[in-house]
Chains A and B, each alone.
Chain A
């Protein structure tokens, strides 16, 4: 079955540590995205990538880094510079269907900083 996988589902981190969230898709989509969701808020875009070896900052990129070495993979690193990293992180990939872009989402990773 095609889809998007994120791992781990739950992640705990001590303050000052970097942590990497995994996102893999087997949908053959070119574009991939990372969003952050906080309680009572919508999704906010962290980084996005339209093609392999290329990515751009979203609205809240500070304290995060990404890489896109393979089409299938778009890992997100939450660095110690991120001041409030506890959140629910969602990865997505997308495909153009005519004039609109349909995004498919992974199941998410909940990160808690202790």
Chain B
């Protein structure tokens, strides 16, 4: 089965600093999804990447999928308290997945003043 490894498990960043989260797959990714979760709440969709080399941005968050489609990174520029939470990557596991996703363990982000 496909495994997704996220790193780091957690990070503390000072407000205004940049941060990067990585998501690495043991197999080729057909689609890679980034979600954000506040503790005890549901997941909020951030963005989805499908093509090798693809890069998408929304406000101060940028996500990239490498050419080999086995690793994605999520980069936050000039972090703010609103960026705190748990970030999860989810992978479309193949052409027959019927929308099923496998998830990484998540990265907890803490933003300090």
- Identify the A interface with B (CB < 8 A): 4, 6, 31, 33, 35, 40-45, 48, 50, 58-59, 88, 90, 92, 94, 96, 99-108, 110
Is the Cβ of A108 less than 8 Å from the Cβ of B40?
yes
Q: Which chain B residue shows the least CB distance to A38? A: B105
Beta-carbon contact of B105 and A42 below 8 Å: yes
Q: How far is the CA of A58 from the CA of B102 in the complex (A)?
A: 11
Q: Are A102 and B45 in contact (CB under 8 A)?
A: yes
B98 x A42 contact (CB < 8 A): no
Say whether B98 contacts A50, CB under 8 Å.
Answer: yes
Closest to B101 in A: A103
The binding surface of chain A is classed by DSSP as strand
Is A58's CB under 8 angstroms from B100's CB? Answer: yes
B interface residues with partner A (beta carbon < 8 Å): 1, 4, 6, 9, 31, 33, 35, 40-45, 48, 50, 88, 90, 92, 98-106
Evaluate contact between A103 and B103: CB separation under 8 angstroms: no
Q: Which residues of A contact B106 (CB under 8 A)?
A: 40-42
A103-B104 CB under 8 A given contacts A94-B99, A110-B40: no
With a cutoff of 8 Å between Cβ atoms, the chain B residues found around residue A40 in the complex are 9, 105-106
Of the residues A44, A50, A100, contact of B50 by C-beta under 8 Å = A100
The answer to whether A42 and B100 have CB atoms under 8 Å apart is: no
